[in-house]
Structure 1
Amino acid sequence: MKALRPYKVLATACLTTALFLTGCTNEQDALSNKTEAKPTVANESQSKQTNTASTSSKVPEQLQKPLKIASINQFSIGTFSSQYISGVKKQVEEFGGEVQVYNADNDLSKMAAYVETAVNQQVDGILIDHGRADAIAPSVKKAVAAGIPVVAFDSDINIPGVTVIDQDDYSLSWNALRSMAQDLNGKGEIVYVWVGGFTPMERRNVMYEAFKKRYPSIKEIARFGTATQNTALDTQSQMEALLQKYPKKGDIDAVFAPWDEFAKGVTRAIQQAGRDEIKVYGIDLSDEDLQLMQEANSPWVSTAATDPADVGKLQVRFLYQKVAGEETPQIYSVQPHLVEKEDLPKSNVSMDEIGKYVEGWGKSDAGTSPWMENLSKDNKK
C-alpha cells in the first residue's frame, strides 16, 4: 500500500477543530439535559482503560446457559445492514446463544413495540440498531428497569447503563469530505445526497456544514435524497434526472453521498451516462460496494467506513459482558478508515481481504474478556 497522504494524517486535528467550531456542543448540551449522569466515553485506543473486564478465564455463572437475545433494527436496507446483522448472528451463535432479529421497516413506533415485546418475553439482552430516543427511549427504560442489559448502535439514546456504540460519524464524514476537498484542490461544484431523521446522518451533516465554511470555494449546486426500501435505485433515478439538468462536462465535479446506498445509486447513474469526470465520495462499505468501486469505469473513488460485521460482533460482546456483570463504557466509538480506490488491487477483493490494504481494518479487540475464548470453545464441542 502506498504511503498515506499528508492530509490523512492531519484529518484528526482538523476534525477536532471543526467540531468545536460547529454545532457539536449544542448536541452534547441537548444530551446532557436528558440526564445528569456522566457517561463513560471510549474509543478503540482507550478500550483497555475504560472496559474493566474480568481477568478470569472461567466462564461466568450467568453464561452457563444459552442466552436469548433480541436484535431490534430500525431498518434493514442494503448490504451494509445485512453484513452488520450477519456479524451479530455469528457472534451470538459462537457464544452459544440464540438471536431473534426484528426489522421495524423504518417505523419507529413499531421499533418501540418490538422493544416492549422483548421485555415481555424476558429476553436475556437487547441489541438496538439505530432508532431515535424520542421514539424508543421510554421502551428502552422499561428494559433497563426490568434488569435486561441493552447495547445500542448508531442511536442518540442517552440512558444510564445503556452502552451506545457508533462509527464516529463525525470522523467518517470529515475523512470523506477532506478527501474530496483535496482532490478538488479546494474548488468546484458538488452535489450533496442526504436525508435527515437518522442519528448518524444528522451527525454526518454537522461535519458537512463545517466543511462548507472551511472550503467556501466548493459550491453545492444541488441536494436530494430519500430513504426507502429501494434507496439505491431511487437515488439512481434522481441522479439521472440531475445529470440531464446539468448535461455539460464541468457542470458537476463531485458528489458527496454519506451513505453507501446513496453512493451506489449515484455511481450507477454516472456510469450509465458516461460522465466519468464526476467523482463520488461516500460513507460505509460492503462487499457489493467494493465490487462497484473496483470497476474500471467507476467514479466512486473513496469511502470512509468501518467493518459492519465487526461492529455487530462488538455490540454482542459488550452485551455479554453486561450479562456477566462487567462494566462497559456508556459511549464507544469504533475507529473508522478511509478506503480509496487507488489503494486497492486491480483484482477484486472482499471485505474479508480488505485488511491487507487498509491498516487496522476489522481488527477491533474491544469488548473482549478472557472467558470469551472458553465460552466459544465450550459451544464448539
Structure 2
Amino acid sequence: MIAQKQHTDDGRDMRWGEGKNMKQWGKLSLTIFLAAVLLVISACGAAKNNAPAGEASASPTASAEAAADNAAGGSSDLAALKGKKLALVMQFNTGTFSSQYVEGVKEQAQKFGGEVTVFASDNDLAKMSSNLDAAINQGFDGILIDHGQAAALEAGINRAKEQGISVVVFDADVKVDGVPVLQQDDQKMAEITLEQLAKDAGSKGNIVKVWVAGFAPMERRQVAYKQFQEKYPDIKEIAAFGNANNPALDTQSQMEAILRQYPNKGDITAVWAAWDEFAKGASRAIQQAGRTEIKVYGIDMSDEDLQMIQDKTSPWVASAAVDPKDIGRVQVRILYKEFKGDANEPLVVLQPVYVHRDQLPEEKVSTTQLSEYVEGWGSSTQGYEDWMKDLEALK
C-alpha cells in the first residue's frame, strides 16, 4: 500500500510541475505577442505621420541622401561641359570688329572651361568650306561659324550634325533644322543711320553708298536702304561701290577718285557705309582731301572706329552697332546650351544701339567704357542661363 501511494504521489507531483511550467510559458508568450503588436502599431503610426497622402515617406536621412545625389548629379552634368574644344570658322577676320568678336568668343569659352581654334578663310568661300570640313574631321565638340553663304556651308553643317557636333552660326543665311543662327538687327541698324543722315541733310542732297552684295547682313541692310530711297526721293545716290577684299584701303582709293570726280563743296552731302571697314576708308579719303563738310554714317563699332568718331576733324559722325565682343559671347552661350540639351530659338536677333559723336566725352574712350555714355551698349546677358554661373565656378 505504501508503494502504491508513493507512485500516486510521484505522479501527482509530476503533473503539478508540468502544469506550473506551462503556465509560465503562456505568460511569456503573451508578453512577447503584446510587445510585437505595440511595435507594429508604433511603426505604422510613424509612417502615417511622416508620409504624404497615398505614399510611403522616406526617412530624413534618406531624403538628405537623395538631395545630395541630385546635387552631385547636377555637378557631374556641368563637369561634362568642361574641356570642350571649339572651332571658329570665319569667312574673313579683317579689321578690329572681327578681332574684338574673336576676343568675345575666346573670353566666354575660357570662362566655361573651353578652348577655341580659329580657322580664317581670307574671304574665300571654297577655303571656308574646306575649313569647315577640317573642323569636322578633327573631331571638335562644337563649331561656331562666322558669316559665309548657305551654298558653301550647308552640306558641311549637315555632316557635322550627323556626327553629333553642335553648330551655331552668326550672320550667314543658313537654314538647317536644329542649327541656331545669330544675326544683328541689320535692317534696324541701317534705318537708324539713314534716318540720321536724312535729318542732318534736311531730306535732300547727293550721297555715296559703300556696300557689297553676297553677304547676308549686307543684303538685309540693302532692304532698308531701298526703303530709304523711296521715302526720301530728293536724296540722290550719285555713286555706289564696295569690295570686301582689303575693304578699308580699297574704299579709301575709290573714294579719292569720287572726290576728284565731284570736286566742289556741296557736290556730295554724305556717305552711307554699310560696314565699319568701308566707313574707315571713306573717312580717311575725305579727311585727307579737306572735304570735311561731307559726313559719314556707318554700321558696326570697334575701338578704332570709336576713336575716329570722337575725332572732331573726322567726317565719321555716327554708327549703329552691337558690341562685337557681346556677339562672340552670346554665340558661345548658345552653343553651350546646345551641348547641355537646352532649347534654343532657331533665330537669335541681337539688338543694336546708336552711337553719335555728340554722346561722347572729349577724352578718348574704348568700347569697354562706352556703356557709361551710350545706353544699352555692352555687357549683354542675352543667352546667359543660371546654370552657366555654376559652370564658370567649376574648376
TMscore range, shorter length: 0.7 to 0.9
Counterpart secondary structure, 1:206: helix
* Residue number among 151, 176, 180 corresponding to 1:134 in the alignment: 151
8 Å CA contact 1:59, 1:372 repeated in 2: no
* Residue number among 264, 267, 270 corresponding to 1:254 in the alignment: 270
Question: In 2, Cα distance between the equivalents of 1:145 and 1:137?
Answer: 12
Counterpart secondary structure, 1:60: helix
8 Å CA contact 2:299, 2:319 repeated in 1: yes
| Aligned-pair CA distance for 1:296 | 2.1
Unaligned segments of structure 1, at least 5 residues: 1-55
* Residue number among 306, 326, 329 corresponding to 2:342 in the alignment: 326
Task: Find out whether 1:284 has 2:300 as its counterpart.
Answer: yes
1:244 corresponds to: 260
Question: In 1, Cα distance between the equivalents of 2:383 and 2:79?
Answer: 17
Q: TM-score, normalised by structure 2?
A: 0.80
Alignment-mate amino acid for residue 183 of structure 1: D
| Aligned-pair CA distance for 1:123 | 1.3
1:4 corresponds to: none
Question: In 1, Cα distance between the equivalents of 2:75 and 2:173?
Answer: 35
1:234 corresponds to: 250
Task: Find out whether 1:146 has 2:180 as its counterpart.
Answer: no
Residue-by-residue CA offset, 1:257-296 (whole Å, 9 max, x unaligned): 0100000001011111111110000000000001111112
1:110 corresponds to: 127
1:35 corresponds to: none
Alignment-mate amino acid for residue 110 of structure 1: K
8 Å CA contact 1:59, 1:374 repeated in 2: no
Alignment-mate amino acid for residue 267 of structure 1: S
8 Å CA contact 2:299, 2:321 repeated in 1: yes
Question: In 1, Cα distance between the equivalents of 2:144 and 2:358?
Answer: 36
Counterpart secondary structure, 1:114: helix
Counterpart secondary structure, 1:112: helix
- The alignment yields a C-alpha RMSD, in angstroms, of 1.4
8 Å CA contact 1:60, 1:371 repeated in 2: no
8 Å CA contact 1:66, 1:97 repeated in 2: yes
Question: In 2, Cα distance between the equivalents of 1:140 and 1:260?
Answer: 29
- For the structure 1 residues 59 and 241, does the alpha-carbon distance in structure 2 shift closer, same or farther, using more than 3 Å as the test? farther
Alignment-mate amino acid for residue 178 of structure 1: E
| Aligned-pair CA distance for 1:311 | 0.4
| Aligned-pair CA distance for 1:63 | 3.0
8 Å CA contact 1:192, 1:256 repeated in 2: yes
The 5-angstrom pairing of residues 50-69 of structure 1 reads 58=75, 60-61=77-78, 63-69=80-86
Higher Cα Rg, which structure: 2
Question: In 2, Cα distance between the equivalents of 1:59 and 1:214?
Answer: 58
8 Å CA contact 1:152, 1:164 repeated in 2: yes
Ranges of 4+ aligned residues in structure 1 off by more than 6 Å:
none
Residue-by-residue CA offset, 1:137-157 (whole Å, 9 max, x unaligned): 111111112111111000100
User: What percent of counterpart residues are identical?
Assistant: 53
8 Å CA contact 2:81, 2:339 repeated in 1: no
Q: Answer with 257-266 or 364-373: which moved more.
A: 364-373
Q: TM-score, normalised by structure 1?
A: 0.83
Question: In 1, Cα distance between the equivalents of 2:352 and 2:74?
Answer: 30
| Aligned-pair CA distance for 1:65 | 3.6
The structure whose RCO (Cα within 8 Å, separation 6+) is larger is 1
1:182 corresponds to: 199
2:240 corresponds to: 223
Q: Number of aligned residue pairs: give it.
A: 323
Unaligned segments of structure 2, at least 5 residues: 1-72
* Residue number among 320, 337, 351 corresponding to 1:304 in the alignment: 320
Residue-by-residue CA offset, 1:48-82 (whole Å, 9 max, x unaligned): xxxxxxxx974634734400101000001110001
1:80 corresponds to: 97
8 Å CA contact 1:59, 1:371 repeated in 2: no
Question: In 2, Cα distance between the equivalents of 1:343 and 1:92?
Answer: 33
Question: In 2, Cα distance between the equivalents of 1:181 and 1:60?
Answer: 54
